[in-house]
Amino acid sequence: MKVLIMIVASVTLGWATRLEAGEPAAARGAETKATQGARPVDAQTAFYLMYKPARAWASDVLPLTLASGDAQNIKNEGGKFGKWTAVFASNARHEARIFTYTVGQGVVAGEEETWSGPTPDSRPFQIIEFAVNSDAAYRTAAKQAEGWLKSHPGKAPAFSLFNASRYPSPVWYIVWGTKTSGYGVLVSAMTGTVVKGK
């Protein structure tokens, strides 16, 4: 399980790092003004804003992963975040591409990456399988982690949505703290029930 999560996280983080490295300094400087008074958004809101340009890029596009992130001057709360990053894949093009939505800035598309197809640990999923939003997943996970959170106050969660063959449908992985010393909960993105807790 830890290996799977590390693979998903490193793929998303690696592409996000390359995308952010190319962001102009002027755009970074304008971020503070653009986000003043702005609120975080749930995963489905950000996802559909990214899906439209992704579909324009490739008509057969399907999501691979979706991950939360931090945005300057935006306070994350209750499964809502200032930034969301999605990786979409196209079987016809044999490519994957990262799209990032940031509150106050909109959607930015990254460069295409070669994609060799699904693997047992990383499979595309249908949009209909993404039925449970991040705020609902947060409530379920927080209830599961209640005891740990009481003894570890102030720990912020991070979210990732992925699909692997060991699960019947895509799952949310919500982790407080770090993957090695925190608390993680898996929540089904179709049913909203806990799949496995640490």
Residue 32 confidence class, pLDDT cut points 50, 70, 90: very low
pTM over 0.75: yes
Ranges 25-29, 35-39, 88-92, 168-172: which has the least confidence: 25-29
Query: pLDDT tens-digit profile of 70-102?
Result: 999 999 999 999 999 999 999 999 999 999 999
Query: pLDDT tens-digit profile of 99-139?
Result: 999 999 999 999 999 999 999 999 999 999 999 999 999 99
Cα–Cα dist 154/14, whole Å: 27
Do the beta carbons of residue 188 and residue 197 sit within 8 Å?
A: no
Q: Bin 44: left if φ > 0, else alpha if -120 < ψ < 50, else beta.
A: alpha
Q: What is the DSSP string of 105-174?
A: TEEEEEEEEE----BTTB----GGG--S-HHHHHHHHHHHTHHHHHHSTTPPEEEEEE--TTSSS-EEEE
Beta bridge partners of 158: 175
Chain mean pLDDT for the chain: 86
% of the chain beyond a pLDDT of 90: 76
Do the beta carbons of residue 132 and residue 159 sit within 8 Å?
A: no
In the sheet that holds 106-114, the strands lie side by side as 106-114, 95-102, 83-90, 62-69, 157-162, 171-176, 183-188, 194-197
